[in-house]
């Protein structure tokens, strides 16, 4: 059993959901990234088709009320090597950059844990909505990695360089209220209120100018694109350094052994 991806159309927004295996958190691997990318292509095609009713808002969510996304599938950790690391980092950047570049509002709807690549997924969205159970962090330092999908770029954009350093150096996991206070997220709502908030906010955005919103977002993203592309190359470089490191290999093995207990 593994995580799958679903695209659903609601009245005022569309939603891409990570569907978790039974009793497991949603995680990411090459197949999940491919399915997510395919869903994004459907969204793009609808937006670009003048004859279709296209979404004005896309929500990224999870079927689990305990975990938005726990990051990489442990099976991926067991296969990453000097030969596969560049492909892994490049694949994640490709999907998250495509998500970030959609010309519509994108909202991450986070319940429970958003860790590692899961937080990087949320950070690629325009807005991050959490319930009170949310726990967020880039925890790669625990196993000897650097963030590989833009986390070294997007986290400081959200919280500033000093706070981003502290969070990463300590593998800090922050709760929803703390995340709101430091600017990591945009809204905290009760679990029962999240759907109403998304519905209301997406309707409000839909009443505004589509061309104005897409233009504003395109201008902002264009300003960051050179830095974002450079970040991808740097994350590949340092991810390769990490995977070659003996301590990292030991940390991965210890982590995998604990998960098997």
Residue 16 has which token pair? 């891409």
Residue 175 pLDDT exceeds 90: yes
Dump pLDDT digits (tens) for 60-97. 999 999 999 999 998 888 888 999 999 999 999 999 99
Q: How far is residue 44's CA from residue 34's CA, in Å, rounded to a whole number?
A: 15
Dump pLDDT digits (tens) for 197-212. 999 999 999 999 999 9
Nearby residues of 15 by Cβ (< 8 Å), 6 or more positions away: 7, 8, 58, 59, 60, 61, 109
The H or E element that residue 17 is part of is strand 14-19
Residue 258 has which token pair? 């604990």
Domain extents in the chain: 4-192
Q: Given this model, what pLDDT does residue 107 score?
A: 98
Dump pLDDT digits (tens) for 22-36. 889 999 999 999 999
Distances from the Cα of 45 to the Cαs of 16, 20, 103, 212, in angstroms? 15, 26, 12, 19
Q: Is 20 a residue of the active site?
A: no
Q: How far is residue 220's CA from residue 37's CA, in Å, rounded to a whole number?
A: 22
Of the candidates 120, 150, 179, 187, the residue annotated as catalytic is: 120
In 3D space, the residue among 209, 53, 235 whose CA is nearest the CA of residue 146 turns out to be: 235
Of the candidates 20, 72, 108, 164, the residue annotated as catalytic is: 72
β-pair partners for 175:
135
* Residue 19 backbone zone (phi > 0: left; psi -120 to 50: alpha; other: beta): beta
Q: Given this model, what pLDDT does residue 89 score?
A: 97
Dump pLDDT digits (tens) for 223-261. 888 899 999 999 999 999 999 999 999 998 888 887 665
Q: How far is residue 174's CA from residue 216's CA, in Å, rounded to a whole number?
A: 31
Beta pairing, strands 187-188 & 57-62: unpaired
Q: Given this model, what pLDDT does residue 170 score?
A: 97
Q: Is 150 a residue of the active site?
A: no
| Homologous superfamily of the 4-192 domain (CATH) | 2-enoyl-CoA Hydratase; Chain A, domain 1 (3.90.226.10)
Q: How far is residue 133's CA from residue 137's CA, in Å, rounded to a whole number?
A: 13
Q: How far is CA 107 from the centre of its chain?
A: 11
Q: How far is residue 99's CA from residue 170's CA, in Å, rounded to a whole number?
A: 28
Q: Is 72 a residue of the active site?
A: yes
- 88: phi then psi, degrees, rounded to nearest 5: -65, -50
Q: Given this model, what pLDDT does residue 219 score?
A: 95
Q: Given this model, what pLDDT does residue 179 score?
A: 98
CB 184 within 8 A of CB 126: no
Q: Is 227 a residue of the active site?
A: no
Dump pLDDT digits (tens) for 89-118. 999 999 999 999 999 999 999 999 999 999
Mean predicted lDDT score pLDDT of the chain: 94
Q: How far is residue 113's CA from residue 45's CA, in Å, rounded to a whole number?
A: 31
DSSP 168-226: HHTT--EEHHHHHHTTS-SEE--GGGHHHHHHHHHHHHHTS-HHHHHHHHHHHHHHHHH
Of the candidates 61, 92, 117, 137, the residue annotated as catalytic is: 117
Of the candidates 35, 100, 140, 235, the residue annotated as catalytic is: 140
- Positive or negative, the CA dihedral 247, 248, 251, 257 is negative
């Amino acid at each position: 059993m593994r995580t799958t991806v679903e695209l659903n159309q609601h009245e005022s927004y569309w939603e891409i959901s990570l569907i978790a295996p039974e009793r497991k958190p949603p995680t990411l691997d090459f197949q999940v990234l491919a399915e997510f990318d395919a869903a994004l292509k459907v969204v793009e095609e609808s937006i670009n088709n003048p004859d279709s009713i296209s979404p004005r808002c896309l929500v990224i969510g999870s079927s689990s009320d305990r975990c938005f996304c726990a990051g990489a599938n442990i099976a991926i950790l067991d296969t990453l090597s000097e030969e596969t690391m560049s492909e892994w980092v490049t694949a994640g950047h490709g999907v998250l950059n495509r998500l970030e570049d959609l010309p519509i509002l994108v909202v991450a709807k986070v319940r429970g844990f958003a860790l590692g690549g899961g937080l990087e997924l949320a950070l690629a969205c325009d807005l991050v909505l959490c319930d009170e159970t949310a726990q967020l962090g880039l925890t790669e330092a625990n196993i000897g990695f650097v963030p590989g999908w833009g986390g070294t770029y997007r986290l400081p954009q959200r919280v500033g360089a000093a706070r981003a350093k502290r969070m990463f150096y300590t593998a800090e996991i922050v709760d929803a209220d703390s995340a709101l206070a430091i600017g990591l997220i945009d809204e905290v709502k009760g679990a029962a209120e999240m759907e109403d908030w998304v519905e209301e906010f997406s309707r409000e955005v839909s009443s505004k100018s589509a061309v104005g919103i897409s233009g504003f977002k395109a201008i902002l993203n264009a300003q960051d694109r050179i830095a974002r592309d450079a970040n991808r190359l740097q994350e590949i470089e340092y991810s390769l350094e990490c995977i070659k490191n003996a301590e990292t290999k030991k940390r991965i093995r210890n982590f995998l052994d604990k998960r098997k207990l």
